[in-house]
């Protein structure tokens, strides 16, 4: 009888010991993520094809933003999986937690509800309007009235423009389609980040001109979904981004892609 009790006690001790070991292993995994020793963890970076910021071709991911996040991932020992989808869908994936990181969005109150912004920013980009060569120039905001403007679905530009329901905006899922609508005279103009507009005009030889009216750009961030297990990494990601800026690597990446415009 005593032997039976002893066996039960020993079994109980073994079970408790095993459970404690598993708990410590689980805790260690969480610590490993927060300390960036995370090559065993797959971090999902989502984005649309928006050259030269994000260039996606034959399942190869490059461009200014993707190159930057690759360097940061390497420095933090992160294994990155890139996911291509339209910009609006990318935001939805961040909101649901199906994706972890996006590099390139600007700030908005709506987006802040479901993603956290890096403390370090990337260079601002002016928003410009491309119009047909024969069109009268756009010199001020009021000149937009009565014009049809191709706008990228899901993106924000500047508050007055974004909230103005009197403007005639026609939404597209990519900027190439927006330019073609202007070239084919289905829209009067397209609004676009300047560097991206320059890239597309030069690549496809669009016979359009840049309007005089332009808007100063907003800061650009790296963002992490609030539902991602990698939220704890954002301070270290911001630190790595700051180092890349201080070391001149960010400027070099932008310069290299400027040569492609």
Q: Rounded CA gap, 247 and 176, in Å? A: 34
- Residue 235's SS3 state is helix
Q: Would you say 126 and 215 are in contact if contact means Cβ atoms under 8 Å apart?
A: yes
Instruction: Select from 10, 5, 79 the least CA-distant residue to 233.
Output: 79
pTM over 0.85: no
DSSP letter string, 91-137: HHHHHHTS--EEESPPP-HHHHTTEEE-SS-BPP--EEEEEETTSPP
Residue ranges of domains in the chain, CATH in brackets: 42-123+219-258 (3.40.190.10), 127-215 (3.40.190.10)
The tens-digit pLDDT sequence of the chain (261 residues) is 455 555 545 554 554 444 444 433 433 333 222 233 434 469 999 999 999 999 999 999 999 999 999 999 999 999 999 999 999 999 999 999 999 999 999 999 999 999 999 999 999 999 999 999 999 999 999 999 999 999 999 999 999 999 999 999 999 999 999 999 999 999 999 999 999 999 999 999 999 999 999 999 999 999 999 999 999 999 999 999 999 999 999 999 999 998 776
């Amino acid at each position: 009888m005593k032997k039976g009790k002893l066996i039960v006690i020993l079994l109980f001790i073994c079970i408790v010991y095993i459970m404690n070991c598993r708990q410590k292993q689980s805790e260690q995994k969480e610590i490993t993520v927060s300390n960036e020793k995370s090559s065993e963890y797959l971090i999902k970076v989502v984005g649309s094809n928006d050259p030269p910021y994000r260039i996606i071709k034959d399942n190869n991911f490059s461009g200014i933003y993707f190159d930057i996040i690759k360097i940061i991932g390497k420095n933090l020992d992160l294994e990155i999986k890139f996911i291509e989808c339209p910009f609006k869908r990318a935001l939805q994936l961040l909101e649901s937690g199906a994706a972890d990181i996006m590099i390139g969005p600007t700030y908005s109150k709506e987006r802040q509800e479901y993603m956290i912004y890096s403390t370090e920013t990337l260079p601002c980009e002016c928003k410009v309007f491309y119009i047909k060569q024969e069109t009268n120039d756009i010199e001020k905001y009021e000149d937009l009235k009565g014009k049809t403007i191709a706008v990228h679905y899901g993106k924000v530009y500047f508050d007055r423009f974004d909230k103005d329901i009197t403007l005639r905006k026609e939404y597209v899922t990519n900027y190439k389609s927006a330019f073609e609508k202007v070239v084919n005279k289905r829209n009067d103009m397209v609004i676009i980040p300047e560097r991206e507009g320059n890239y597309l005009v030069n690549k496809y030889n669009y016979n359009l001109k840049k309007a005089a009216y332009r808007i100063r750009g907003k800061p650009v961030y790296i963002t992490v979904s609030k539902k991602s297990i990698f939220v704890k990494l954002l301070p270290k990601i911001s630190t790595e981004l700051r180092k890349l800026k201080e070391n001149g690597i960010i400027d070099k990446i932008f310069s290299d892609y400027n040569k492609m415009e």
